[in-house]
Amino acid sequence: MSALVRMRLAGFLRTGRAIAPLLAALLVLGILYGGGQARPAEAYGVCAVVLFPVLAWQTKILLDVEPDVQRRMAQVLVGPARDRAAGLLAAVVAGLGTILVALAFPWLVGGLVVPGPGDLSLPAALGLGLWAHLLALLPATAVGALASRALTRSAGYGVAVLAVGVVGTLVLGLRGSVAPWLAPPVLATARALAGPLPVDTALFLSGAAVGWTGLALAGYAWRRRSQP
């Protein structure tokens, strides 16, 4: 399966398909951090929200790179479950690369303030920032997978699924108290990082993100079983 992961990442990079989401990420990061300096943890929480659509789109692009015939051959060679898992793992690895760029970018442009007395330490702020981005990456990968060509069969339907997933996450996140389990806690995580983060809140948000992602990927796997 590792060979499949490497193959999909190589195809994503060598075909130049990785350039578009990378440029989109740099664009939103430039807009986000161009307005002045902010505290690291709070800024990273907002950054995870604005990167959520980019990460979902990047996943869709990566999964769509592989030709249909090649995907069917891979299913025959390693089995459908390993083939699906390899695609999702490749998408997560690519997303981690984007996250590393997002964590480093604000320091390069002076978008963050160095923590002072009474603030979180820099390692703690970086750790919370990584945590917030991971909680966005997991559901973004699921949304991108649901929008992939293997399921939607057409570019138009794929874009529609991607748009509904991203917009629905943000809209329902704004109304989190009304429908807390209908969307992943991307906005809730950003709100939590605006102040002190209790351990029980962090555990709840982590569990909600993992649970929502698991349900979405279960739907993805179920739909893929009926697709060639």
What is the per-residue pLDDT across 119-129, written as a single tens digit (0 to 9) for each? 778 888 899 99
Burial class (CB in 10 A: 0-12, 13-18, 19+), 200: exposed
The rounded mean pLDDT for the chain is 86
Structural domain boundaries of the chain?
2-225
178 pLDDT tier (thresholds 50, 70, 90): very low
The tokens of 145 are what?
């997978």
Q: Is 112 helix (H, G, I), strand (E, B) or coil?
A: strand
Q: Per-residue pLDDT for 6 more than 90?
A: no
What average pLDDT does this structure show over 46-60? 96
What is the secondary structure of 62-92 as a DSSP string?
HHHHS-HHHHHHHHHHH-HHHHHHHHHHHHH
What average pLDDT does this structure show over 56-71? 82
CB 213 within 8 A of CB 141: yes
Per cent of the chain over pLDDT 90 is: 50
